[in-house]
Chains A and B, each alone.
Chain A
């Protein structure tokens, strides 16, 4: 600490330091809560491990060959290859988060945003996506005699 001399030189220095520190503290006291406020709090989500995706003869599946299933808060694309064969992948394109669709005629999973092109293993065939689509497990569960089986999608 500098001694305060009658010349006032270091007194001014002290006051400047004092005011500057006070102003800095005030700024922190204002901006810290604001910064914390604008950062969205973590909201705990119920973790989903498996969902039922309807019967195997779902008309939407029969017509378009695919449907988007709600897997917790995330979309999953369910693709119908035949009466007994189904596949599921994460429904969001690995490029920029758009939701993909299935082109029945070409047998490809396709993203309309930037022409991301995936095959039926979820691997990138063409376009900008950097990674393959994450695969999900599909099981067909019998519900009762004479009734179509239920498709169950779960984490692989």
Chain B
């Protein structure tokens, strides 16, 4: 048995740099400081993404993407297929948790200024991955072909129609015609299961590769603290904590999915009046709510509605470009202006979401998240003692 393992190892050794990879893995370290808990957030987002891939593939075994069959096939999955209700419920819940953790990941990276040189590409790919996650959510929302999804898609794609010049083309491109029909469903299905996953695979590959090459960033304000502590070994210390986090997440996910199964609603009817509570997924709420405030009318042949849409697009673009706009942080390690803008944006997003739901829950979720981060930072604490001078994290060695 042992010789077999050794022979297999030798076979790969002859062909690939296995020893180098092993060397890299054993020497990989993660800096320790009071915000080290943030380093688990990307992995947590990726864990939910993996759940999405697995459950998504499973759902595809029974799902039929047509206006005649989609609703019925989801109904079949939920009522006839063994554990179908659970798989679908997990897919829906995990999608929301994935987007949620992507947002938290983004916020922590933003406020700890981890986008600064040399991690600009990691930031840009990460932002695009977040937009793709939202596109996954938007396209997946329609697939059960129920009333809520149908009207949310009508509204969502109609918004795109208000963009000056390219609006009409975009609307027809998204809908696969003038109206939301079975053709739209086919298109959204294609995006959801082929195009978006393909783009994600490439971007996620780059994102993860860069994290491996560059290591974790130490926030400028935690530099001294991290330098005074021995960094954590990736194997086994960090990886074990990652693993425990994922097992915990799986347990919580299974519990929510079982206790609060995702509803199916009624089949879409293009000739029925819209519901009272037609609303998008929570992560579109702040934009949706902003649009509600804009009165009808136009200025210079541009609808008022187009103005917030253009502003949100501009906001998205600025978010991607943050590492190139924030020059100061590379020089001084500080950029209070960007921290201030970030807080402002966060207050606006959470505030508008709360306003949209007429509920304070979004604020409680933010407070709860901060508390959870604090608790997890205690749970993942690693006291390896002071640094030995030479034992600096390789991640930091590359930055100076």
A residues neighboring B (CB under 8 Å): 26, 29-30, 33-34, 36-41, 43
Q: A38 to chain B: which residues have CB within 8 Å?
A: 58, 61
B58–A41 touching, CB < 8 Å: no
Q: Is the CB of A37 within 8 A of B87?
A: yes
Pair B82/A34 contact, Cβ less than 8 Å = no
Greatest chain A CB density within 10 A among B61, B82, B87, B247 is at B82
**Cβ 8 A contact of A26, one of B61, B82, B247:** B247
Q: How far is the CB of B243 from chain A (nearest CB, A)?
A: 10
Instruction: State in angstroms the CA–CA spacing of A60 and B214 once bound together.
Output: 73
Residues of A within 8 A of B250 (CB): 26, 30
A-B contact count (CB 8 A): 28
State A43–B77 Cα separation when bound (angstroms). Answer: 12
Bound-state CA distance A29–B253 (Å) is 13
The reply on B80 being an interface residue by CB < 8 A is yes
Asked if A43 and B82 sit within 8 Å, CB to CB, the answer is no
* Given contacts A33-B86, A33-B87, A37-B87, A43 and B80 within 8 Å (CB-CB): yes
- Listed in ascending order, the chain B residues whose CB lies under 8 Å from chain A are 58, 61, 80-84, 86-87, 247, 250, 254
Min CB–CB distance B51 → chain A (angstroms)? 10
Sample of 12 further A-B pairs with CB below 8 A, known A34-B58, A37-B82, A41-B81: A30-B250, A33-B82, A33-B83, A33-B86, A34-B83, A36-B83, A37-B61, A37-B81, A37-B83, A37-B87, A38-B61, A40-B81
B251 to chain A: closest residue by CB: A26
Q: What are 17 A-B interface contacts by the 8 Å CB criterion? A: A26-B247, A29-B254, A30-B250, A33-B82, A33-B83, A33-B86, A33-B87, A34-B58, A34-B83, A34-B87, A37-B58, A37-B82, A38-B58, A39-B82, A40-B81, A41-B81, A43-B80
The secondary-structure label for the interface of chain B is: helix
Residues of chain B within 8 A (CB-CB) of A43 are 80
State which of B61, B82, B247 has its C-beta within 8 Å of the C-beta of A36. B82
Q: Rank and list the top 5 A-B pairs by shortest CB-CB distance, nearest first.
A: A33-B83, A36-B82, A37-B83, A41-B80, A36-B83
CA distance A138 to B96 in the complex (A): 59
Contact residues in B for A37 (Cβ distance below 8 Å): 58, 61, 81-84, 87
Beta-carbon nearest neighbor of A22 in chain B: B247
Tell me, rounded to whole Å, the shortest Cβ–Cβ distance linking A20 to chain B: 14
Residues of chain A contacted by B83 (CB below 8 angstroms): 33-34, 36-37
Question: Chain A's nearest CB lies how many Å from the CB of B397?
Answer: 35
| Complex Cα–Cα for A89 and B87 (A) | 43
Note all chain B residues with C-beta closer than 8 A to A36. 82-83
CA distance A71 to B153 in the complex (A): 42
Residues of A within 8 A of B254 (CB): 29
A29 to B254, CA, bound (A): 10
Residues of A within 8 A of B87 (CB): 33-34, 37
> How far does the alpha carbon of A34 sit from the alpha carbon of B58 in the complex, in Å?
8
Considering the complex, give the chain B residue whose CB is closest to the CB of A36: B82
Q: Cα distance A49–B290 when bound, in Å?
A: 63
The CA-CA distance from A37 to B81 in the complex, in Å, is 6
Q: Shortest distance in angstroms between A21's beta carbon and chain B's nearest beta carbon? A: 14
B201 CB to closest chain A CB (Å) equals 22
Question: What is the CA–CA distance of A37 and B61 in the complex, to the nearest angstrom?
Answer: 9
A-side contacts of B86, CB under 8 Å: 33
Provide the residues of chain A in CB contact with B81, threshold 8 Å: 37, 40-41
- A39 CB contacts on chain B under 8 angstroms: 82
Per the bound structure, the CA–CA distance linking A29 and B250 in Å amounts to 11
Task: Point out the residues of chain B lying under 8 angstroms from A26, CB to CB.
Answer: 247, 250
CB closest residue in chain A, given B254? A29
